[in-house]
Amino acid sequence: MKSKLEYIWLDGYKPTQSLRSKTMVRSDFSGKLEDCPMWSFDGSSTEQAEGSASDCLLKPVAVIPDPARKNSYLVMTEVLNADGTPHPSNGRATIEDDDEDFWFGFEQEYFLWDPVTNLPPGFPAGGYPPPQGPYYCSVGARNAYNRDLIEEHLDLCLEAGLNVEGINAEVAAGQWEFQIFAKSAKTAGDEIWLARYMLERTAEKYDLAVDWHPKPLGETDWNGSGMHANFSNGPMREAGNEEIFTKICDEFGKNVGPCIAVYGAHNEQRLTGQHETQSIDQFSYGVSDRGASIRIPVGTVEDGWKGRLEDRRPASNADPYKVAAIIVKITKEALG
């Protein structure tokens, strides 16, 4: 039997990379990662190479079934230079340590977008729907839009084996969220990108786009979109020591610049100090504080200072690989 392997990668566009993919047809494919061959592509068409030396390599890093196509698989890859070294656009390669001590849960917000009206579903042409408030976790056609698309995407993700832990309608009309958890920084990044790919492709069927911009509605009184990063390591989960969390938060306060640099383009439009955000030029942390840069969940405190932290600053368009990499680095520096 012949199988379709959809090789997925991130291009070299700046400041925000896009997803690319192409199909390889293989006979008698086992479905295992070790049987996914290296492949190549024309990097001169994706801002990743010059035409005179255009070959870039695709190294498979994860493979899952593709329930949306017959006899198909989705193959997440990372981009290498022709000599086998990581390409500068390869965010996955920036994760220095993936020993599975770090657990990540990403909360991926996004807007559905109508390319005809150039507005989210639920927004009338040339105007706005009623103010935000009734849309969050809503039900009913007045407040929830394109639930059929959202449910189809969730079913596809679960059938493919992605560890999606939930979905919900978000604060603005046409805005939704899914959450993914993994006990590995790289796996969490792989699964977010695979879920993003599946969402983009599912939305095609409904003649809708997905807008990952952190503030697609500009300077309006509507929430932006983030990709909140929940994280923990062994000491955070097991020690039961408030000082560990204080040290980590304080270390993040010393590294605002490096964090913001990889937390997504145009994030200054979202991190304004309003709409459940801290200002981009300030840093704060607090228990149960959704207006802080880093929130300490009340559950972490109630469990005797065992649990996680939530960095609320990453934007919806951030690369989860790069976000995980900086979080791992700073947390390790904080704990020596």
Domain membership of residue 196 (yes or no) is yes
pLDDT at 237: 97
Q: 126 and 60 share a domain?
A: no
Q: At what angle do helices 147-160 and 185-205 cross, to 10 degrees?
A: 140
The answer on pLDDT for 303 being more than 70 is yes
Question: CA-to-CA distance for 147 and 268, rounded, in angstroms?
Answer: 30
Question: CA-to-CA distance for 8 and 192, rounded, in angstroms?
Answer: 12
Q: The tokens of 200 are what?
A: 């983009």
Q: Which of 32, 57, 90 represents a domain boundary (last residue)?
A: 90
| Mean pLDDT value across residues 109-113 | 98
The answer on pLDDT for 144 being more than 80 is yes
pLDDT at 135: 96
The answer on pLDDT for 53 being more than 90 is no
The answer on pLDDT for 80 being more than 90 is yes
- More confident site: 223 or 78: 78
Residue with tokens 């989860």: 320
Give the count of domains, the chain.
2
Write the pLDDT tens digit of every residue in 12-36. Answer: 999 999 999 999 999 999 999 999 9
The answer on pLDDT for 219 being more than 90 is no
Q: 67 and 28 share a domain?
A: yes
| Mean pLDDT value across residues 323-332 | 97
Q: 220 and 126 share a domain?
A: yes
Domain membership of residue 31 (yes or no) is yes
- Has this prediction a pTM greater than 0.85? yes
Q: 154 and 284 share a domain?
A: yes
Write the pLDDT tens digit of every residue in 116-143. Answer: 999 999 999 888 899 989 999 999 999 9
Domain membership of residue 275 (yes or no) is yes
Beta strands in the chain (DSSP E): 2-10, 19-27, 39-42, 55-65, 72-80, 103-113, 164-169, 175-182, 209-211, 227-232, 285-287, 294-296, 309-311
Q: 83 and 48 share a domain?
A: yes
Write the pLDDT tens digit of every residue in 182-217. Answer: 999 999 999 999 999 999 999 999 999 999 999 999
Listed residue (275, 282, 261, 278) closest to 218, CA to CA = 275
Q: The tokens of 245 are what?
A: 């969390």
Q: 20 and 80 share a domain?
A: yes
Domain membership of residue 223 (yes or no) is yes
> Is 193 strand, coil or helix?
helix
Mean pLDDT score across all residues of the chain: 95
Question: CA-to-CA distance for 55 and 111, rounded, in angstroms?
Answer: 34
Q: Which of 90, 122, 144 represents a domain boundary (last residue)?
A: 90
| Beta-strand pair 103-113/209-211 | antiparallel
Helix or strand (DSSP H, E) at 204: helix 185-205
Which CATH number fits the domain that encloses residue 200?
Answer: 3.30.590.10
Give me the percent of the chain exceeding a pLDDT of 70.
99
> Is 156 strand, coil or helix?
helix
The answer on pLDDT for 238 being more than 80 is yes
Write the pLDDT tens digit of every residue in 278-294. Answer: 899 999 999 998 899 99
Q: Which of 58, 90, 122 represents a domain boundary (last residue)?
A: 90
| Mean pLDDT value across residues 90-101 | 88
Q: 293 and 155 share a domain?
A: yes
- Expressed as residue numbers, the domain containing 30 is 2-90
Listed residue (336, 314, 315) closest to 327, CA to CA = 314
Handedness of CA 119, 122, 126, 128 (dihedral sign): negative
Domain membership of residue 96 (yes or no) is no
The answer on pLDDT for 105 being more than 80 is yes
| Mean pLDDT value across residues 42-59 | 94
pLDDT at 275: 67
- More confident site: 97 or 35: 35
Q: 223 and 119 share a domain?
A: yes
Q: 85 and 118 share a domain?
A: no
Question: CA-to-CA distance for 143 and 140, rounded, in angstroms?
Answer: 6
Q: 36 and 177 share a domain?
A: no
Domain membership of residue 95 (yes or no) is no
Q: 270 and 142 share a domain?
A: yes
- More confident site: 82 or 273: 82
Domain membership of residue 98 (yes or no) is no
pLDDT at 100: 82
Which CATH number fits the domain that encloses residue 14?
Answer: 3.10.20.70
Q: What's the chain's length in residues? A: 336
Q: 85 and 128 share a domain?
A: no
